[in-house]
Structure 1
Amino acid sequence: MAFGLSRNVEGALCYLLFWVSGLIFLLLEREDEFIKFHAMQSFVTFLILHFAVIIISVIQLLEGYLSLITIAIIILGIVGMVKAYNGEKYKFPILEIYQKSC
């Protein structure tokens, strides 16, 4: 484990700073699949949502969606932390839909 904490705590911390903490754990964790799973999910999900916020901010016609995306980011962060802390490998539904379409 990258920081010497329990795997559940490190898995939950992957979501703390959204895509940034996901990237940090991706770079530092080499062995634990559970932590790598949550780090990758955090990184991919929140990086995509970060770019969505940037694009919507540029396209001013869609500004009403910013609050929805912000709420989604907060909810996904909390859900990810709780699921990781409880030892679950929970896939966010949006990633599940994407994987089935590929």
Structure 2
Amino acid sequence: MSGALAYLLGVFTGILFLLIEKKSPFVRFHAAQSIGIFVAFMVFWVVISMLSVVLGIIPFIGAVAGFFFFLISLVVGFGGFILWLFLMYQAFQGKEWEFPFVGPQVRKMLR
């Protein structure tokens, strides 16, 4: 159950469970993976927002770019929500599903 809760509030619960859980490699893995995935999503949103603002000042291109970035944000946001539910479900089932790139990096970090 703690593994699934590590994803509940993203980085915040990830850090909390990583700090308080010293004995369970399962919970520590999910807590660290939660931090990695949600930080990656935050970086994505910052980059998309900055690009949208910078390109938004250019006539016509700004409108097209804004719409394009809106669609990308919508798709990635929905995908992120589905991923969030999937990761909590996997952790609740007692599985250590690794998100590509983040999961292997988390394993190396926790050794």
* TM-score interval (norm. to shorter): 0.7 to 0.9
Q: With structure 2 as the length reference, what TM-score do the two structures score?
A: 0.72
Q: Determine the structure 2 residue equivalent to 1:88.
A: 95
Q: 1:24 to 1:96 in 2, by over 3 A?
A: closer
Q: Determine the structure 1 residue equivalent to 2:36.
A: 44
Q: Is the 8 A contact 1:13 1:21 kept in 2?
A: yes
Gapped regions of structure 2 (runs ≥ 5)? 53-64, 107-111
2:81 to 63, 74, 81: 74
- Which AA in structure 2 matches 1:86? Q
- State how many pairs are aligned: 91
State the SS of the aligned residue for 2:23. Answer: coil
Q: With structure 1 as the length reference, what TM-score do the two structures score?
A: 0.78
Q: Is the 8 A contact 2:36 2:102 kept in 1?
A: no
2:13 to 15, 21, 28: 21
RMSD in angstroms over aligned alpha carbons? 2.0
Gapped regions of structure 1 (runs ≥ 5)? 1-8
- Which AA in structure 2 matches 1:22? G
Q: Deviations over 1:56-81 (max 9, x none)?
A: 01211333311122112211110111
Aligned-residue identity in percent: 30
For the residues of structure 2 that align with 1:89 and 1:19, how far apart are their CA atoms?
18
